[in-house]
Amino acid sequence: MSITPEQLRATLAEVVDPNTNGKLGTVLKDSELRLDGNALTLTLALGYPLHNGQDELRKRIETAVAGLGATLARLDFTLKVATHAVQRGLRPLPNIRNIIAVASGKGGVGKSTTAVNIALALQEQGASVGLLDADIYGPSVPIMLGVSGKPPSLDGKTMEPLVGHGLQSNSIGFLLDDDAPAIWRGPMVSQALEQLLRQTNWKSLDYLIVDMPPGTGDIALTLSQKVPLTGAVIVTTPQDLALADARKGLRMFQKVEVPVLGIVENMSMHICSNCGHAEPIFGQNGGRDMAAQFNTPWLGSLPLAMDIRTQTDSGSPTVVADRGGQIAGLYRDIAWNLAVQVAMLPPDTSGEGPKVVARK
């Protein structure tokens, strides 16, 4: 008895992706299926990068098609990141499928370093990624990416992003002279950030990572309400003082209906550069415990290591400076976990108008 492509699609639609816990039915529309006799060749378009391999998903697909008497001759995976829903009353921006805020309740917890390495890791895994430096009073992206100069304008109205390590970026630090402070009040800061976001010609991004200003004050709150965010990541250290402020940041996003995609614990363990001894000088498991307390995904932890600081200060962050290193691997795991959380969110339907049915 021959197998039809329709039978295979119906069967594959019921296979559950072990990473997202969702059925494959939603991704099959962008996938390619070819049947030669009973041998199946499948190119499956997933909504997240292929960092950790797909062995378990492959086994589930093989088992499902074997139940129809077919064999899986070849299985390839491609990346097709969807546009996901944002806050009510807002719509995703053109050419940006998902905007992710990286935030903290306070400064000094390594938020910017985490943001730039996550962005680079997502790019390395095949996504198109941009980085917006929203920390007006302390822009650090120019130093971290080793990029300088002013963004060019081709039409006198908009800016072209500057590129560092292949990453599209923009920052108020590109527009101000070195050492020049941004002495602006809150409304001016919010307006400047909206211009950086909306007047930059981002080139078809899967993810725009936004390095948010520290704290939960007026600027952060205004951005959370005006910028169409797919979700937010909270960066903290294990220290009780940092966790207290991180909780405030998490609740702020909850109040403005922005999904918290997960928590990253930075400086979880100090690694001695001489002997390699590890010591939890800021405490242990604070970020993990906070994730459990708020039923929020735990994305991973990072050590307090001198290499992270020196590499970032030199304009070559860890993910690109030490590609094969253990810490770069931690950043990649966090970025992949984040992308999976994004893929699990509801799709954007803001462009779908009501259906009009003509009646006689």
Query: Domain check: are 189 and 302 in the same one?
Result: yes
Query: Domain check: are 245 and 160 in the same one?
Result: yes
Q: First-to-last CA distance in the chain?
A: 46
Quick one: pLDDT band at residue 61, thresholds 50, 70, 90? very high
Residues with Cβ within 8 Å of residue 117, at least 6 apart in sequence: 317, 318, 319, 328, 331, 335
92 belongs to a structural domain:
no
Query: Domain check: are 267 and 216 in the same one?
Result: yes
Quick one: pLDDT band at residue 90, thresholds 50, 70, 90? very high
358 belongs to a structural domain:
no
85 belongs to a structural domain:
no
Query: Domain check: are 73 and 187 in the same one?
Result: no
Query: Domain check: are 118 and 264 in the same one?
Result: yes
Other CB atoms within 10 A of residue 308 CB:
25
Q: Domain span at residue 25?
A: 5-79
Contact between 205 and 110 (Cβ < 8 Å): no
246 belongs to a structural domain:
yes
pTM: 0.91
Triad 119, 242, 291: Cα angle to 5°: 65
352 belongs to a structural domain:
no
Rounded percentage of the chain residues whose pLDDT exceeds 70: 93
Q: Which of 46, 79, 112 is the last residue before a domain boundary?
A: 79
Residue 163's pLDDT is what? 96
> Looking at 54-63, 92-101, 128-137, 273-282, which range is the least confident one?
273-282
List the CATH number of the domain containing 36: 3.30.300.130
List the CATH number of the domain containing 300: 3.40.50.300
89 belongs to a structural domain:
no
Q: Tell me the pLDDT of the chain averaged across its residues.
A: 88
Other CB atoms within 10 A of residue 273 CB:
11
| Burial grade of 213 (CB within 10 A; 0-12, 13-18, 19 or more) | buried
Residue-wise pLDDT tens digits, 221-257: 888 888 999 999 999 988 888 888 889 889 999 999 9
307 belongs to a structural domain:
yes
Query: Domain check: are 170 and 231 in the same one?
Result: yes
Query: Domain check: are 159 and 49 in the same one?
Result: no
Query: Domain check: are 28 and 121 in the same one?
Result: no
Query: Domain check: are 9 and 132 in the same one?
Result: no
Residue type, 281: I
Query: Domain check: are 66 and 198 in the same one?
Result: no
118 belongs to a structural domain:
yes
Residues with Cβ within 8 Å of residue 324, at least 6 apart in sequence: none
Q: Crossing angle of helices 218-226/240-255, nearest 10°? A: 40
Residue-wise pLDDT tens digits, 292-348: 999 999 999 998 888 898 999 999 999 999 999 999 999 999 999 999 999 999 999
> Quick one: which of 163, 168, 86, 161 has its CA closest to 127?
168
> Looking at 13-17, 126-130, 348-352, which range is the least confident one?
348-352
Triad 177, 178, 184: Cα angle to 5°: 60
Q: How many domains does the chain have?
A: 2
Q: Which of 26, 51, 79 is the last residue before a domain boundary?
A: 79
